[in-house]
Amino acid sequence: MKRMTRIITFASGKGGTGKTTAVANLGTAMAQLGKKVTILDADVTMANLGMMFGLEEEEITLHDVLAGGASIDQATYTGPAGVKVVPSSISLEGVRRAKLEHLKEAVSELVKRTDILLIDSPAGLDLDAITALTLGQELILVVTPDIASLSDALKTKIISENLGVKPIGIVVTRASDKSVDLPTNQIESVLDLRVLSVIPEDPEVGHSIALRKPLVICEPDSPAAQAFMKLAADLLGLKQRAKPKKAGVEKFTLWPVGGRKRKSR
């Protein structure tokens, strides 16, 4: 009997929480741990995921699929550790042509090809964000340790529950030792959910974004990378965490699943 694909949507009530960074690194870490993982950028208006993998200049993206001009295979690229990435376009023309009603069909095709599908949803509660929420079976809220972030995340949680999507926990990002950060127990109390991981503020995150490579690849020993790797293992139910693969740290290739190879910059 074929095992069901696990679909996890990552959401935040507001922008700036580091949600896309978390999704990119968790997906790559899960792939390093031997899983077939696909990451989908469902933020069709403010796409950022492609830049995490150096895919911002690719001609074929999710927008072309949603416009009916390409297959999902043509918009799927292979990144480090074998993780599959479906980026959205950063062009205004791509946004104009994309039809959100085709998003569910695209997801239906992706689940045939992967063990785990991670969906990077838009921040906020506009139509595109709510549409992305309906695609997942499970929801992880990505928040920063401040009351404004929690207030917005609480609204997202309530709506997801009304849509039949199960919130499974919280990832707290950009955490510091400063007294202004809300403590973990208070975050759990406000959202009535368990904190799955606290990702520390780490200057190497900005460095990895500049390199267009996930942190778990280019700086695997950094504090945030180690936190992402542990969270990936926890979400997979692994007792022991495999060490990050060294091969491909300096350079890896990206190519469309249905197309020719290309080298990353």
CATH of the domain at 182: 3.40.50.300
Instruction: Indicate the number of domains in the chain.
Output: 1
What is the structure's pLDDT at 94?
A: 57
- Position 59 in a domain: yes
Q: What is the pTM of this model?
A: 0.87
- Position 107 in a domain: yes
Whether pLDDT at 47 is above 70: yes
- With b meaning 16 or more CB within 10 Å and e meaning fewer, what string describes 63-80? bbbbbeebebbbbbbbbb
- Position 262 in a domain: no
Among the listed residues 124, 176, 180, 181, the one whose alpha carbon sits nearest the alpha carbon of residue 153: 124
Which range of residues forms the domain containing residue 168? Answer: 6-243
Whether pLDDT at 3 is above 70: no
- Position 180 in a domain: yes
What is the structure's pLDDT at 245?
A: 44
Hey, what are 129's tokens?
């964000």
What is the structure's pLDDT at 180?
A: 77
Q: Where are the beta strands (DSSP E) in 26-153?
A: 37-41, 77-78, 84-86, 116-120, 138-143
DSSP 155-178: HHHHHHHHTT-EEEEEEEEEE-S-
> In the sheet where 262-263 sits, what is the strand order?
195-200, 166-175, 138-143, 6-11, 116-120, 37-41, 84-86, 77-78, 253-256, 262-263
> Which amino acid does the sequence have at 38?
T
Q: What is the pLDDT of residues 123-137, one digit of tens each?
A: 888 888 888 888 989
Hey, what are 89's tokens?
């376009």
Q: Coil, helix or strand for 103?
A: helix
- Position 257 in a domain: no
Region 163-190 average pLDDT? 91
- Position 79 in a domain: yes
Task: Please give the DSSP secondary-structure letter assigned to residue 53.
Answer: T
What is the structure's pLDDT at 153?
A: 94
Residue in the block written with tokens 């416009």: 67
- Position 120 in a domain: yes
Average pLDDT over the chain, rounded to whole?
86
Give the dihedral of Cα atoms 214, 215, 216, 218; nearest 10 deg: 90
Whether pLDDT at 82 is above 90: yes
Q: Coil, helix or strand for 62?
A: helix
Region 84-95 average pLDDT? 78
Q: What is the pLDDT of residues 112-168, one digit of tens each?
A: 999 999 999 998 888 888 888 889 899 999 999 999 999 999 999 999 999 999 999
Of 36-50, 205-219, 245-259, the poorest mean pLDDT is in 245-259
- Position 250 in a domain: no
